[in-house]
Homo-oligomer: A and B are copies of this chain.
């Protein structure tokens, strides 16, 4: 029992480092960049509140757990802004290695269970994972809309790029949400250009 608890506490202590991984986006009041710990909390809350809009009914409890762990690999590899350029294969290999290390801190049964959940999220094929990915993608869009475009001007993002890079991913898991946002995005770009 004590060994098991010590392993669990070691994992939870390591997880604390996600609070020191910063994202390209800022918290909405703009006073600092958002950390991936806060981000993980916020999108778990997003999923909880928006579950009814999933294209296919999901097991929201699994989705929430998936989102609570989905960014832990960033402790080793950092956050990759979706509008940047990356070597996808190299990034995926680095993330898998990080998952080995971080989930490997847990007792074997939990290591396997949560690694499987993370793999499912990454594969983005199950209904739960597709919805989880939609939610992960939609939160920065809403954040940008709420802060006069947020990081869009900085990255020279266009409405068409949002459609191509984010829209279809959100629509795949939560079409009603993207439908709602598409109109708000069109309005924002019409006003700002």
* Contacts from A to B (Cβ < 8 Å): 1-2, 5-6, 8-9, 11-13, 15-20, 27-29, 31, 34-35, 37-38, 40-42, 44-46, 48-50, 53, 61, 64-65, 68-69, 106, 110, 139, 142-143, 146, 176-177, 180
- Which residues on the B side are within 8 Å of A40 (C-beta)? 41
- Which residues on the B side are within 8 Å of A61 (C-beta)? 61, 64
**Interface majority SS (helix, strand, loop, mixed), chain A:** helix
* A29-B17 in contact (CB<8A): yes
Number of this chain's copies in the assembly equals 2
Q: Closest residue of chain B to A61, judged by CB?
A: B61
> Within the complex, which residue of B12, B19, B46 is in contact with A34, where a contact is CB–CB below 8 Å?
B19
Q: With A19-B34, A19-B38 known to touch, is A142 a contact of B9 (CB < 8 Å)?
A: yes
* B29-A45 in contact (CB<8A): no
* Complex-state Cα separation, A69 to B64, whole angstroms: 13
A8: shortest Cβ distance to chain B, in Å?
5
> Within the complex, which residue of B9, B50, B143 is in contact with A8, where a contact is CB–CB below 8 Å?
B50
* B143-A45 in contact (CB<8A): no
A32: shortest Cβ distance to chain B, in Å?
8
* B142-A45 in contact (CB<8A): no
Q: Closest residue of chain B to A38, judged by CB?
A: B37
* Complex-state Cα separation, A127 to B71, whole angstroms: 30
Contacts A16-B42, A38-B38 aside, 12 further interface pairs with beta carbons under 8 A come to A1-B176, A5-B177, A8-B49, A12-B45, A19-B34, A19-B42, A20-B29, A35-B35, A37-B41, A44-B64, A44-B68, A49-B106
